[in-house]
Amino acid sequence: MTPFLEVSGVSKRFGGIQAVSGVSFQVRRGMIKAVIGPNGAGKTTLFNMVSGFSAPDHGTITFGGHPIHGCRPHQVAARGISRTFQNIRLFEHLSALENVMVGRHLRSRAGFLAGMLDLGWARREATAMRGLALEVMAFLGIEALADAEATSLAYGQQRAVELARALASDPELVLLDEPAAGLNMRETRDLAGLITRIRDRGITVLLVEHDMSLVMEICDEVLVLSYGEKIAEADPRTVQRDPQVVKVYLGEEEC
């Protein structure tokens, strides 16, 4: 298969710290890939570069053949990459449903004029947006939360709303930044099933995760970062046996 997301030789420096240096990897369509590594390995920086939140100092990122490094976040999103955040970023004062509807912003087009004049087509579009948002929420089993104020929900529910929001734009690739953080064992198991089902919908998944059992269970490939450099990239079993990876994770459980 041809690479879908191709990251080649990207580096990023913050002041005196080389957060990411010369990392290259590919994500193929339809796979679940994880980026793991100890704290400060540069995982989130890498994610921010892929999603347009920061531009790499060097290197290129292409998605579906188009260069996306240096694009602004909304432009990256328009190319079909959606994301969640490590510390959940839901929209305050908006209901859960409205949060998910913002996720469909890209796939709708009513502007200032249509909105102000409350035009028929804009209304129909809004109704369709609502329907699709509810559908995504039903897929995640959270349609009952639709009218609750998003930021008042329980932690696990907020994660689910954020995930629904990310999926609502019908992305081709979704970036999940530590989706299992703060979840209990059962919730994590549910999440594993969910991510597999997201993949089965034809959405490629790239995730940063600390929970090794989750990564080993669902991922097709794992990329390991340490101090901003790639130290391994293979299927979960191979990575688990890689002596360098073991060394990096020495002392951490489950590895």
Partner 1 sequence: MHLNRYGQVGIFMASAAGLQLAAVAAGRGFLLTQMTMSAYYTLAVLGISLLMGYAGQISLGHAGFVAVGGYTSAVLTTLDLTPYRAQPLVAASQGLGLLLARPDLYGGELLVVQPLVACILAVALATLLAFVVGIPVLKLKGHYLAMATLGVGTIVYSLALGTQWLGAADGISSVPPFPLPFGASVGGPAGGRVVNYYVAVALLGAAMLLLLNLVQARVGRALRAIHGAEDAAAAMGVDTASLKLKTFVLSAALAALAGVFLTHYNGGIGPSEASVMKSVKYMAIVAVGGMGSLWGTLGMSLALNFLSLRGYFGAYDDVVFGLILVGMMLFAPEGLLALQPRRALAALRLRLRRREDGEEPR
Residues within the interface to partner 1 (CB under 8 A): 51-53, 72-74, 77-78, 82-83, 85, 89-94, 98-99, 101-103, 105-106, 108, 110-112, 114-118, 122, 125-126, 129, 165-166, 169
- 210 forms beta bridges with none
Residue 102's contacts (CB-CB under 8 Å, 6 or more residues apart) are 91, 94, 165
Distance CA 56, CA 117 (A): 42
CB of 192 to partner 1, least distance (A): 24
Measured from the CB atom, is 67 or 115 closer to partner 1? 115
CB of 242 to partner 1, least distance (A): 32
Measured from the CB atom, is 7 or 122 closer to partner 1? 122
CB of 226 to partner 1, least distance (A): 27
Amino acid at 91: F
In SS3 terms, 64-107 reads as CCEECCCCCHHHHHHCCEEECCCCCCCCCCCEHHHHHHHCCHHH
Distance CA 172, CA 10 (A): 22
Measured from the CB atom, is 130 or 199 closer to partner 1? 130
Measured from the CB atom, is 24 or 95 closer to partner 1? 95
Measured from the CB atom, is 167 or 225 closer to partner 1? 167
Amino acid at 191: L
Measured from the CB atom, is 117 or 144 closer to partner 1? 117
CB of 172 to partner 1, least distance (A): 13
CB of 54 to partner 1, least distance (A): 11
CB-CB contact of 43 with 16 (8 Å): no
CB of 92 to partner 1, least distance (A): 4
Q: How far is CA 139 from CA 135, 201, 223, in A?
A: 6, 11, 29
